[in-house]
Amino acid sequence: MTTQDTVKPSAVRTAAEVATWDFEADVVVAGLGCAGACAAIEAAEAGADVLVLERASGGGGTSAMSGGLIYMGGGTPVQKACGFDDTPEEMFKFLMAACGPEPDEAKIRIFCDESVSHFHWLEEHGVPFKYTHYPEPFMEPPTDDCLVYSGGEDAYPFDRIAKPVPRGHKPQAPGAAGGFLMQRLVAATEATPARILCDARCETLVVDGRGRVVGTVIKHDGTHKAVRARRGVVLTAGGFIMNRDMVARHTPLLWKASYKLGQDGDDGRAIRMAMGAGADVIRMDAGEVAIPIIPPRRLMRGIFVNQFGQRFVNEDSYPGHVAQECLFHQDGKMFLIVDTAIYERNLAGMEATHVEETVADLERSLGFPTGVLQHTVEFYNQGAARGEDPVFHKQPGFLTPLNNPPYAAIDCCTDKVLWAVFTLGGLHTLPSGEVLDPDGQVIPGLYAAGRTTSGVAAYGYVSGVSLGDGTFFGRKAGRQAATSAFTA
């Protein structure tokens, strides 16, 4: 067990123990990913003296590893330019349905109501968007186009709950734009008076005699140093997917996935630091799950079957939804079944693992009992020929009978392909970024945003919501900390 593999909170230091403050600032931000950058910018622009502490040798964090999609809507200029008519209410209805059960209604409400204004803020801070729509959904466009469907808004059942429109906004850079986004956000941070200290790992919080968070102890240049935060500490240091013990304790099924989507820093340290100061954690069992089966989405003319050879989901759903269904409800086992008219190597280079001239042979080759897959395909084909999927409601555009031999299966089980997962649970915060204790009381001087917190996605997930709520609530937290009435 390495030191970060622990479920233990980090015991706080008391201010009385701190002999000298090595650094001081009004607002100390821990972690320079998207949430930290936005917190620092807002705090600095509110007039606070800001110090950003980044554990790595440069900013970016796990945000920089992402595709760059930011979930925004309610009528952004990009949506309007592309002819999509959206409202905060439609966005709210969708997110409430897609992010449950029991999503944080207050967070979702403000996230939707102020989404257009957030778009403008990002533009004003150097994040450019091309006002174009890219038709292939669910992933960042390979081009520098912007707007994509990123959450299955156009798939059953969400297409019946809210008007389907795309809300994934990618900054204007070709392909995965997380790195580009973070370059821009770090540059915007650097354009403020905020100072950035790299190779500075927060170890624990410092609290005063009344329980107020007044600083943090960091490891920097090989030694421990004390950092005073006159107005507050903002924790924006990622989730806990790299911490085996925390995953085993809180969301054991996630560990089955082959790829933990994070950096070393996603070891839950910020969460455990805050717990040491009395913070509450919620939704620790929730996880995002991604599989690279698409693009292209046209592969979804095939069918997913579970370990019993049954379909279990509409294949045109958001792939993260398919993957959550599979990992949490189908024991992480599924296969994509296609015929030769549909089959192609997908963008991730996944290839057929089983190819046979008949479905009966494919069924045998997969080790399914005789007749199961044959029936699944036959029944699916009957509906597809009529343009109907009466059971799972896949859209007609993806309904093509599978009847062009040879037939193939792509083994998508957790032990066969790359499943990328990260944690969604974390600190319980108000929309303002204030961190709550289990009594629901604000812990003075402590703020958090991003995957260190439980955010817009309580359990269900849509692409773009992590950068979306990280940037949005990072701003809220930075502003709240900077304007805190109290000065330590």
Q: Are strands 434-436 and 287-290 parallel, antiparallel or unpaired?
A: unpaired
Residue 236 or 306 with smaller CB distance to its own copies: 306
> Cβ of residue 119: shortest distance to its own copies, in angstroms?
32
Shortest separation between residue 253's beta carbon and its own copies, angstroms: 7
3-state secondary structure of 98: helix
Q: Smallest distance, Å, CB 117 to its own copies?
A: 31
- Nearer Cβ to its own copies, position 80 or 386? 386
The residue (of 174 and 438) whose beta carbon lies closer to its own copies is 438
Residue bearing tokens 């005789």: 370
Q: Could you tell me the two tokens for 238?
A: 């990622």
Helix, strand or coil, per DSSP, at residue 271: helix
Least Å distance, CB 383 to its own copies, is 8
Listed in sequence order, the DSSP H helices in 395-485 are 465-482
- Give whichever of 45 and 434 is closer to its own copies, judged by the CB atom: 434
CA–CA separation, 96 and 281 (whole Å): 21
Please tell me the distance from the alpha carbon of residue 2 to that of residue 182, in angstroms, as a whole number.
29
From the CB of 213, what's the least distance to its own copies, in Å?
18
Q: Which is nearer to its own copies, 331 or 344 (CB)?
A: 331
Q: Which is nearer to its own copies, 144 or 363 (CB)?
A: 363
13-14/200-207 β-pairing:
parallel
β-bridge mates for residue 304, sequence order: 336
User: For residues 348 and 391, which CB has a smaller minimum distance to its own copies in the complex?
Assistant: 391
For residue 296, cis peptide bond before it (omega within 30 degrees of 0): yes
CA distances from 373 to 314, 339, 478 (A): 17, 13, 54
Residue 478 to residue 436: CA distance in whole angstroms: 16
Q: How far apart are CA 86 and CA 459, in angstroms?
A: 24
The number of beta carbons lying within 10 Å of the beta carbon of residue 132 is: 16
Residue 48 φ then ψ, to 5°: -80, 150
Instruction: Give whichever of 9 and 166 is closer to its own copies, judged by the CB atom.
Output: 9
Place of tokens 């009529």: 386
- Cβ distance to its own copies smaller for residue 147 or 247: 247
Q: Which is nearer to its own copies, 120 or 375 (CB)?
A: 375
DSSP string, 145-195: --EE--S-TTSTTGGGTS-----EE--SSSS--HHHHHHHHHHHHHTSS-E
Spatial distance between the Cα atoms of 404 and 399, rounded to a whole number of angstroms: 14
- In angstroms, what is the minimal distance from the CB of 308 to its own copies? 5
What residues line the site for its own copies (CB under 8 A)?
Answer: 7-9, 11, 101-102, 248-249, 252-253, 275, 282, 285, 308-312, 328-330, 369-372, 375, 379, 382-383, 390-392, 438-440
Task: Return the amino acid letter for 484.
Answer: S
Residue 147 CB, shortest distance to its own copies, in Å, is 32
Nearer to its own copies, 181 or 456 (CB): 456
> Helix, strand or coil for residue 223?
strand
**In the complex, minimum distance from the CB of residue 287 to its own copies, in angstroms, rounded to a whole number:** 12
Compute the least distance from the CB of residue 207 to its own copies, in Å. 15
Buried-state track 220-248, b at ≥16 Cβ within 10 A, e below 16 = beeeebbbbbbbbbbbbbbbbbbbbbbbe
**Which residue is associated with the tokens 């949506």?**
79
